[in-house]
Amino acid sequence: MTYNSITFEIEKGVGLIRLNRPDHGNAIIPEMGRELLDVAVRCDEDPEIRSVVLTGNGDRFCVGGDLKAFDAQAEGISRYITEITHTFHAAISRFNWMDAPVIAAINGTAAGGGFSLALTTDIAIAAESAKFTMAYTKIGLVPDGSSSYFLARMVGMRRAKEMALLNPILSAEQALQWGLVNRVVADDQVLSTALEIAQELARGPTRSFGETKRLILAGTTDSLESQMERESRIISAIAASADGREGIVAFVSKRMPDFQGN
């Protein structure tokens, strides 16, 4: 598939996805939703891709939906947004359930669906100049892109409602304090920092990372006993995998493990 609203490249086990509508703040349109879903499937199914970095071209990460495009739909707006959310949400689901960790390099404003997209990643690195806001209710809409699932789990119910109803604009440092990002770095270091983390993860036990991601995701909604049963089954299987055995043997032998991602 040829991409227009995103770019994609692979180097040293890292898949680099760039949202590529910089003249529109990397606003989401149906084409971008379809392309994000396609690249998410590629990252999920290609064993050579062992970590992923998601960023935006230009000076903004993603401002959310393209409101000018929304306005142009007139009576067709409901169908238009349904198309966007179906593919956008399917891409987010793939990113969360796949083995490869996903690192956000938040290079500028993350608003609306862009804010939601940033929340869904496994690790988030923000530029000092980045701003964060939901903005949905400010224009009479409601959250999408999984933010109604992830936000309260990250910041608590009170702050989630504050962000969703009052639409404050958080600085990168405030986002760090609230637990929305892992690290804040200088603007010119955000991508290199994310890539450095991605390269470290790409050398790790990819299947173990995937199972860990899924355990944490399931643990937010499941009962204690169900979650512990899931943990028991998965750690037993992983211990018998090639990387599981390598990790154990390397530890006992007091050497660095050489993980192959399986």
Helices (H), 29-121: 30-45, 67-72, 77-97, 113-120
CA distance 173 to 169: 12
Q: Which of 96, 104, 105 is nearest to 44 (CA)?
A: 96
The catalytic residue among 89, 99, 122, 188 is 89
Determine which one of 144, 222, 243, 258 is catalytic: 144
144 in active site: yes
| Contact predicate 40/8, CB 8 Å | no
Give the number of residues written for the chain.
262
Of 179, 39, 53, whose CA–CA distance to 105 is shortest?
53
Copy the structure tokens of residue 172: 């990168």
Does residue 258 carry a catalytic annotation?
no
Active site residues: 89, 144
